[in-house]
Amino acid sequence: MTTSTDPVPTDYQVAIIGANRAGISVALDAYEAGIERIVIIDSQEEVELPDLGGQPDVLLGKPVERIKEDGTVTVSGADFEVTATVAVVAGRVDKVSISPDYDIPDSLADRIHLEMPKSVPVIDDVLIIGTGETAAEYAEELIESGHHSVVLSLPSIAFDQLACQTREDLLQVEARRDATIFWHSHPTAVYDSDGYPMVTFSDRRTPDLVFDQIIYALGTGERSKHLDRLNITLEAVSAPAAVYVLTEEDPDPDEPESPEMLYVSPGHAWGSIHDHHFPDLANPPDLEARPPLVFSGLAERLREKHYNATITSFENYHSDLWILRVKPDVGDARHDPGQYATLALGYWEPRLDGSDEHLDESKIEKLVRRSYSISHPMIDEDDNLVAPEDIDGVEFYIVLVRPEGMDHLPELTPRLALKKAGDRIFMGNKVAGRYTLRYVDDPESDIVMLSTGTGEAPHNNMVAQLLRNGHKGRIVSACTVRYQRDLAYLETHRRLEKLYPQYSYFALTTREADTINNKVYIQDMITNGMLADVLGHEPSPDRTQFFLCGNPLMIGFPEWEGDTPTFPEPRGVCEILTELGFTVDHKGVDGNVHYEEYW
Can you give 216-242 as a three-state secondary structure string? Answer: EECCCCCHHHHHHHCCCEEEECCCCCC
Segments of the chain assigned to CATH 3.40.50.80? 439-596
Mean predicted lDDT score pLDDT of the chain: 85
Q: Is the pLDDT of residue 24 over 70?
A: yes
Rounded to an integer, the average pLDDT of 444-455 is 97
Instruction: Phi first, then psi: give them for residue 279, nearest 5 degrees.
Output: -65, -20
Confidence bin at 365 (pLDDT 50/70/90): confident
pLDDT in tens, 336-349: 999 999 999 999 88
Q: Is the pLDDT of residue 153 over 50?
A: yes
109: DSSP letter:
G
What local confidence, expressed as pLDDT, does residue 198 receive? 92
What local confidence, expressed as pLDDT, does residue 96 receive? 54
Q: Is the pLDDT of residue 247 over 50?
A: yes
Rounded to an integer, the average pLDDT of 234-251 is 73
Q: Is the pLDDT of residue 254 over 70?
A: no
Let me know: does 352 contact 410? Beta carbons within 8 Å.
no
What local confidence, expressed as pLDDT, does residue 549 receive? 96
What local confidence, expressed as pLDDT, does residue 172 receive? 78
Q: Is the pLDDT of residue 403 over 90?
A: no
Q: Which of 18-22, 283-287, 331-335, 446-450 has the lowest mean pLDDT?
A: 283-287
pLDDT in tens, 483-517: 889 999 999 999 999 999 999 999 999 887 665 55
> 280, exposed or middle or buried, with CB in 10 Å at 0-12, 13-18, 19+?
exposed
Rounded to an integer, the average pLDDT of 34-62 is 83
Q: Is the pLDDT of residue 267 over 50?
A: yes
What local confidence, expressed as pLDDT, does residue 444 receive? 96
Question: Residues 6 or more apart from 532 whose CB is under 8 A from it?
Answer: 538, 539
258: DSSP letter:
P
Answer yes or no: CATH 3.40.50.720 is held by domain 11-93+223-277: no
Percentage of residues in the chain having pLDDT higher than 90: 48
Rounded-to-integer distance, Cα 396 and Cα 393, Å: 10
Rounded-to-integer distance, Cα 375 and Cα 12, Å: 59
Rounded-to-integer distance, Cα 18 and Cα 35, Å: 18
What local confidence, expressed as pLDDT, does residue 1 receive? 41
Does 215 or 288 have the greater pLDDT score? 215
What local confidence, expressed as pLDDT, does residue 3 receive? 52
Rounded to an integer, the average pLDDT of 249-260 is 59
Q: Which of 7-21, 281-295, 585-599 has the lowest mean pLDDT?
A: 281-295
Helix (H, G, I), strand (E, B) or coil at 282: coil
Helix ranges (DSSP H) in 401-440: 413-416
CA atoms within 13 A on the CB side of 184: 10
Let me know: does 74 contact 82? Beta carbons within 8 Å.
yes
Topology (CATH level 3) of domain 289-427: Elongation Factor Tu (Ef-tu); domain 3 (2.40.30)
* H or E segment to which residue 421 belongs: none
Q: Is the pLDDT of residue 2 over 50?
A: no
Rounded-to-integer distance, Cα 106 and Cα 117, Å: 18
Question: Cis omega before residue 403 (within 30°)?
Answer: no
Distance of CA 205 to the CA centre of its chain: 11
Q: Is the pLDDT of residue 144 over 70?
A: yes
What local confidence, expressed as pLDDT, does residue 5 receive? 54
Confidence bin at 4 (pLDDT 50/70/90): low
Q: Is the pLDDT of residue 222 over 60?
A: no
Answer yes or no: CATH 3.30.1130.10 is held by domain 439-596: no
Confidence bin at 286 (pLDDT 50/70/90): very low
pLDDT in tens, 80-105: 999 999 999 987 655 555 678 888 99
* H or E segment to which residue 146 belongs: none
| Cα three-residue angle 153-221-86, rounded to 5 degrees | 95
Rounded to an integer, the average pLDDT of 294-305 is 70
Rounded to an integer, the average pLDDT of 248-265 is 66
Segments of the chain assigned to CATH 3.50.50.60? 11-93+223-277, 106-217
Confidence bin at 70 (pLDDT 50/70/90): confident
What local confidence, expressed as pLDDT, does residue 93 receive? 58
Q: Which of 41-50, 324-333, 335-344, 558-567 has the lowest mean pLDDT?
A: 41-50
Rounded to an integer, the average pLDDT of 381-390 is 91
Confidence bin at 251 (pLDDT 50/70/90): low
Percentage of residues in the chain having pLDDT higher than 70: 86
Segments of the chain assigned to CATH 2.40.30.10? 289-427
- Kindly report the CATH class assigned to 106-217: alpha beta
CB-based contacts of 140-146 (< 8 A; 24+ apart in sequence): 140/169, 140/173, 141/116, 143/173, 143/178, 143/179, 145/120, 146/122
Rounded-to-integer distance, Cα 209 and Cα 486, Å: 32
